[in-house]
Amino acid sequence: MAESDFYTKDGTVDHKGNPANIKKTGTWKACPFIIGNECCERLAYYGMSSNLVRYFKHRLNQHTSVATRNNQNWSGTCYITPLIGAFLADAYLGRYWTIALFSIIYVFGMTLLAMSATVHGIKPRCYTEDNCDPTVTQSAVFFVALYLVALGTGGIKPCVSSYGADQFDDTNETEKKHKSSFFNWFYFSINIGALIASSVLVWVQDNVSWGWGFGIPAIAMAIAVVFFFSGTRLYRNQKPGGSPLTRLCQVMVASFRKCRVAVPADKSLLYETVDAESNIKGSRKVEHTEDLSFFDKAAVETESDDIKGTVNSWRLCTVTQVEELKAVIRLLPIWATGIIFAAVYSQMSNLFVLQGERMNTHVGNSTFKIPPASLSIFDTLSVIFWVPIYDRIIVPVTRKFTGHKNGLTQLQRMGIGLFISIFSMVVAAILELERLREVRRHNYYEVKEMPMTIFWQVPQYFLIGCAEVFTLIGQLEFFYEQAPDAMRSFCSALQLTTIALGNYLSSLLVTIVTAITARNDKLGWIPDNLNYGHIHYFFLLLAVLSVLNLGAFLLIAKWYTYKKAVGTLR
């Protein structure tokens, strides 16, 4: 990247594109505002989403399978909309203004959501705790608010982790080392927000009111916006590099146009700018790689290419532009293996909650009842426990054996997480099998809460939290590092779409399983009363898919080619 694209001779580029002093911007000085923003935003998100399946079921009067599908479809949308935010950030607005704009949309959505649960006329009318009769208009207002939140989060999710990493200079070895640590502590902050959400806010929703249960997250989101703008003068900003999708299409079109052209054996003959920096704003030059050689044809100079005049990028592309496309293609198989993991992860806010509903929610012999969705606090505590262990113990110890600066490679880290996630589903299935045995033994079928403590769910939540630290944080770092420099928001969004597709996959599996197992008036695996169901079969199905997915991941990781940048990214 040219110096003026990120830093100027006098310092950094601020949010208005003006020069700023490099010594006074970036690094850990800027990160508290980014991390604080993320902590509050995640508190808001998890505060309204952790218990959402129960709102669908008990306030919008939906059947269990419908509530589960609606919850997963909305969650999936929250991880698809980042493609919109990422495109705008990389192509036109930059990460700073994308986060700022979509944060405002987010606040509007959260405010409308709180109103839909408090304002007379648009909140559902309820006769008893579990007997509500919402009108079409009331349901519509709720869903409009819900999908405004999905749009708002779409501009924040793909940008904020990359924006934090942007505060560290790759050419400075000290700063570069801190970047890897940043991802660990960034994810740590996410779980601090989730901890408050799954403990305090879920209790408020179940014991005080849904109005306050949605109102507090709206306030938290407003605080997140204040946090972000407070650090404006300290941020380092990278200028947007133009439409990444256009550049990828140009390489594909140029390659097919020259499908009959031979690629020279000497790869130094391929077209590249003579300048030290790439001609793509926000991107260093990238070394040529041997795989996917068909796309090298786009960088082969022919007599019809007027390289002395203005080069037509739809006919001739630079090596760096070709390598952008190759990098994205190489990411796709790794990306695909994250979908099954995301389907496993999504069970925490769906079937785990409904499973916990049927267990004893009292704490000891007291009258205090823990909301089923609050058990996700143990996933959060697991993450909070494992992040410092990983950062301060596992990394230094494994570094001595592997010689890798981060101890484990990102792919090794992700693979360990995929392996651990298998056991979370096995443990959940064993618990449900034992729970159903107790139901049959004592005829608890119509009992709302059987006398088996909900805290037996703790191991399955704890295992998912451990898997998160390895897989999801590994993905965050991997997709940032392996993304082309000018496509980091886009590739971060690509990583987030695995969570979206995991939710959609889980929703699809629920639909298929229900259609197959509930034939001929049978209740099926996932009935409204889980005491008559077999959700342990569903958990075991996810465990089997996870084993197959891990095998595919190991094969793909073995052949993965890492990106090699040339020059400096200032």
Q: Is the predicted pLDDT of residue 138 greater than 70, yes or no?
A: yes
- Residue written as tokens 């009067």? 61
Per the CB < 8 A criterion, the answer to whether 317 and 271 are in contact is yes
3-state secondary structure of 168: coil
Per the CB < 8 A criterion, the answer to whether 468 and 186 are in contact is no
Instruction: Let me know if residue 254 belongs to a domain.
Output: yes
Query: Residue 422: what pLDDT?
Result: 96
Question: What is the rounded CA–CA span in Å between residue 148 and residue 146?
Answer: 6
Query: Residue 9: what pLDDT?
Result: 31
Angle CA 307–312–318, to nearest 5: 70
Length of the chain: 570
Write the DSSP symbol of residue 110: H
- Phi, then psi, of 306 in degrees rounded to 5: -85, 80
Instruction: Let me know if residue 3 belongs to a domain.
Output: no
Q: Is the predicted pLDDT of residue 173 greater than 80, yes or no?
A: no
Angle CA 502–165–6, to nearest 5: 125
Query: Residue 458: what pLDDT?
Result: 94
Q: Name the band, by pLDDT with cuts 50, 70 and 90, for residue 117.
A: confident
- Phi, then psi, of 209 in degrees rounded to 5: -170, 155
Query: Residue 16: what pLDDT?
Result: 53
Query: Residue 376: what pLDDT?
Result: 83
Question: What is the rounded CA–CA span in Å between residue 336 and residue 548?
Answer: 13
Instruction: Let me know if residue 4 belongs to a domain.
Output: no
Instruction: Let me know if residue 47 belongs to a domain.
Output: yes
Query: Residue 10: what pLDDT?
Result: 31
Which one is predicted more confidently, 67 or 239? 67
Write the DSSP symbol of residue 208: T
3-state secondary structure of 565: strand
Q: Is the predicted pLDDT of residue 391 greater than 90, yes or no?
A: no
Query: Residue 217: what pLDDT?
Result: 92
- Residue written as tokens 């996700």? 376
Query: Residue 12: what pLDDT?
Result: 46
Question: What is the rounded CA–CA span in Å between residue 349 and residue 376?
Answer: 8
Residues 359 and 304 in one domain: no
pLDDT in tens, 256-315: 999 888 888 888 888 887 776 667 776 778 888 888 889 999 889 887 776 666 778 888
Q: Average the pLDDT over 376-399 and give the result.
A: 88
Domain that holds residue 268: 244-324
Residue 494 corresponds to which tokens in the numbers above? 């690509």
Find, among 338, 342, 346, 384, the residue nearest to 478 by Cα: 338
**pTM of structure:** 0.75
Write the DSSP symbol of residue 561: -
Question: What is the rounded CA–CA span in Å between residue 507 and residue 512?
Answer: 9
Question: What is the rounded CA–CA span in Å between residue 315 and residue 256?
Answer: 10
Instruction: Let me know if residue 96 belongs to a domain.
Output: yes
Question: Cα–chain-centroid distance for residue 170?
Answer: 24
What percent of the chain has pLDDT above 70?
91
Residues 485 and 392 in one domain: yes
Reported as half-sphere exposure (CB side, CA atoms, 13 A), residue 205 has a value of: 30
Residues 350 and 230 in one domain: no
Q: Is the predicted pLDDT of residue 570 greater than 60, yes or no?
A: no
Question: Which of 54-68, 90-104, 234-248 holds the top average pLDDT?
Answer: 90-104
Q: Where are the alpha helices (DSSP H) in 202-298?
A: 202-207, 210-230, 244-257
Question: Cα–chain-centroid distance for residue 46?
Answer: 13
Question: What is the rounded CA–CA span in Å between residue 352 and residue 446?
Answer: 19
Per the CB < 8 A criterion, the answer to whether 186 and 192 are in contact is no
Query: Residue 106: what pLDDT?
Result: 94
pLDDT in tens, 46-94: 888 878 888 888 888 888 778 888 887 888 888 888 889 888 888 888 8
Residues 226 and 302 in one domain: no
Residues 396 and 477 in one domain: yes
Q: Name the band, by pLDDT with cuts 50, 70 and 90, for residue 122.
A: confident
Instruction: Please count the structural domains in the chain.
Output: 3
Query: Residue 552: what pLDDT?
Result: 95
Residues 419 and 554 in one domain: yes
Which one is predicted more confidently, 277 or 510? 510
Question: What is the rounded CA–CA span in Å between residue 552 and residue 229?
Answer: 43
Per the CB < 8 A criterion, the answer to whether 53 and 62 are in contact is no
Residues 407 and 556 in one domain: yes
Residues 176 and 235 in one domain: yes
Instruction: Let me know if residue 182 belongs to a domain.
Output: yes
Mean pLDDT of the chain: 84
Query: Residue 569: what pLDDT?
Result: 44
3-state secondary structure of 534: coil
CATH no. for residue 185? 1.20.1250.20
Q: Average the pLDDT over 164-179 and give the result.
A: 74
Long-range contacts for 525-529 (Cβ within 8 Å, ≥24 apart)?
A: 526/64, 526/65, 526/68, 526/351, 527/64, 528/63, 528/64, 529/445, 529/446
Instruction: Let me know if residue 1 belongs to a domain.
Output: no
pLDDT in tens, 319-371: 888 988 998 899 999 999 999 999 999 888 788 988 988 899 888 777 788 88
- Phi, then psi, of 356 in degrees rounded to 5: -65, -30
Q: Name the band, by pLDDT with cuts 50, 70 and 90, for residue 455.
A: very high
What percent of the chain has pLDDT above 90?
26
Instruction: Let me know if residue 384 belongs to a domain.
Output: yes
Residues 91 and 197 in one domain: yes
Query: Residue 416: what pLDDT?
Result: 95
Query: Residue 432: what pLDDT?
Result: 93
Query: Residue 59: what pLDDT?
Result: 84
Residues 28 and 78 in one domain: yes
Reported as half-sphere exposure (CB side, CA atoms, 13 A), residue 518 has a value of: 16
Per the CB < 8 A criterion, the answer to whether 140 and 70 are in contact is no
Query: Residue 276: what pLDDT?
Result: 61
Residues 448 and 476 in one domain: yes
Q: Name the band, by pLDDT with cuts 50, 70 and 90, for residue 568.
A: very low
- Residue written as tokens 């919402």? 134
Considering 242, 265, 294, which residue would you say is the last residue of a domain? 242
pLDDT in tens, 399-423: 888 888 778 888 999 999 999 999 9
Residues 416 and 466 in one domain: yes
